[in-house]
Structure 1
Amino acid sequence: MNSANLINSTLSDEEIVTEILNGETHLYETLIRKFNSRLYRISMSIVNDDKEAEDIMQISYLNAYRQLASFKHESSFSTWLIRILINESLLHKKRQQRLEKRRIESPYNDYHSETPLDNLMNKELKLILEKAVFTLPEKYRIVFVMREVQGMSTHETMEALDLGESNVKIRLARAKEMLRTELKTYWQPEQLLEFNLIRCDVIVNYVMTEINKITRA
């Protein structure tokens, strides 16, 4: 049986963190599986590349694990973890932008028209919807994904992005205005930026293998 299924369902995220710090390292898998979909969607809203988003998730989970002892319980674990992911996503994006600038400036530049989302979705409607979402400027897109795609509360979004309530509401409203009216009829947030079980298992297996290396070191 998967270890995640052995966890007492009444334990909060913060209580699970305490158990992990007390030596129950395998419980970290529970947190990974719980937050995989949320982290994937948020990272995708920043980097717009599914493979890069997965790499960022793995790095973020490992960074969070290494920093668990510094988690002060001043905010929820999910907010703390999302902040780590956002920081890593933004750093990654800056690095990619620098590389892209060099590529463009290179006299040996080869132009590639393929976009990161070309092979991500297998349904035309979902592809149209996602492309519409990714036309939004980043500051609106990330709020939109957190609130409307992932279903996070205004308070959670405020904490994760270090924004005031009015800013979150204004950015969300602006994002909705910028999306085409005709798409609203087909809006199905739970189907966008899906993170299926196979991909979830890949992230879990990688992170837990690395954690086992850390604990044996």
Structure 2
Amino acid sequence: MTKPERPAPPTDEEIVTRILNGEQHLYEQLMRKFNTQLYRISMSIVNDDKEAEDIMQTAYINAYRQLASFRQQSSFNTWLTRILINESLLRKKRRQHMEKALSESTPQTQHSHTPLDDLMNKELKTILEKAVLTLPDKYRMVFVMREVQGMSTSETMEALDIGESNVKIRLTRAKEMLRAELNSYWQPKELFEFNLVRCDVIVNHVMQAINK
């Protein structure tokens, strides 16, 4: 006698529909699924772990408030990633303006370590992340999305609003720029780790915010 097949797990889009129909607690499932991805992508833009976490919380809250406008013309993954990227770029732009104003009003001082410098305790991971962070923004974002996070070409195209050829060209160029330094040592899944404690903090903060 054959065992009955297990029902397929609900898709992201089905979970969104259930949330909109009153099952608010299911939003936690979506956050836990995408936390690592969003953290890595935001880190590739802002290079500040604390700010990346704050951006994630803002992106999740904004996405929740806009769930009713999610038309499923693209995947929930892509839609959420776009919100995260927009918030990350906005924060980076603000920070650059502030840094520029500060540099114009104060004497130049020696560059201080970023939070990323103190985040990693393994020498290899530190070298790899620093190498990735030297890439120009447009190459770094594609590299992190495709190679570190494993997003598809189509997802990357939609999230960044660029063509397929641009995704491939930027990824190839990013690899060329990294190859000499990294050689065969990089381990993409170890870059920009996002542990369970951080995951819980983000989820709890957002769920408290949306339950108010």
**TM-score greater than 0.5 by the shorter chain:** yes
Alignment partner, residue 66 of structure 1? 65
Alignment partner, residue 78 of structure 2? 79
Provide the aligned C-alpha RMSD in A. 1.4
| Distance in 2 between residues matched to 1:174 and 1:163, nearest whole Å | 16
Counterpart of 1:126 in 2: which secondary structure? helix
| Distance in 1 between residues matched to 2:209 and 2:162, nearest whole Å | 34
Matches within 5 A, 1:140-155: 140-155=139-154
Alignment partner, residue 210 of structure 1? 209
Alignment partner, residue 3 of structure 2? none
Alignment partner, residue 170 of structure 1? 169
Alpha-carbon offset, residue 67 of structure 1? 0.2
| Distance in 1 between residues matched to 2:144 and 2:130, nearest whole Å | 13
TM score, norm. by length of structure 2: 0.94
Alignment partner, residue 4 of structure 2? none
**Identical counterparts, % of pairs:** 76
Task: Determine if contact 2:131/2:181 at 8 Å carries over to the other structure.
Answer: no
Task: Determine if contact 2:59/2:84 at 8 Å carries over to the other structure.
Answer: yes
Letter in 1 for 2:96: Q
Matches within 5 A, 1:28-177: 28-107=27-106, 111-177=110-176
Counterpart of 1:131 in 2: which secondary structure? helix
Q: Deviations over 1:152-178 (max 9, x none)?
A: 111110111111110000000000001
Task: Determine if contact 1:79/1:159 at 8 Å carries over to the other structure.
Answer: yes
Counterpart of 2:142 in 1: which secondary structure? helix
| Distance in 1 between residues matched to 2:97 and 2:55, nearest whole Å | 17
Alignment partner, residue 16 of structure 1? 15
| Distance in 2 between residues matched to 1:173 and 1:157, nearest whole Å | 14
| Distance in 2 between residues matched to 1:94 and 1:177, nearest whole Å | 27
TM score, norm. by length of structure 1: 0.92
How many aligned residue pairs are there? 206
| Distance in 2 between residues matched to 1:106 and 1:200, nearest whole Å | 39
Instruction: Structure 1: state its 5+ residue gaps.
Output: 1-7
Which ranges of 4 or more aligned residues in structure 1 deviate by more than 4 Å? Answer: 108-112
Alpha-carbon offset, residue 122 of structure 1? 1.1
| Distance in 2 between residues matched to 1:187 and 1:108, nearest whole Å | 38
Alpha-carbon offset, residue 208 of structure 1? 0.4
Task: Determine if contact 1:103/1:109 at 8 Å carries over to the other structure.
Answer: no
| Distance in 1 between residues matched to 2:70 and 2:147, nearest whole Å | 28
Alpha-carbon offset, residue 183 of structure 1? 1.4
Counterpart of 2:86 in 1: which secondary structure? helix
Alpha-carbon offset, residue 112 of structure 1? 4.7
Instruction: Structure 2: state its 5+ residue gaps.
Output: 1-6
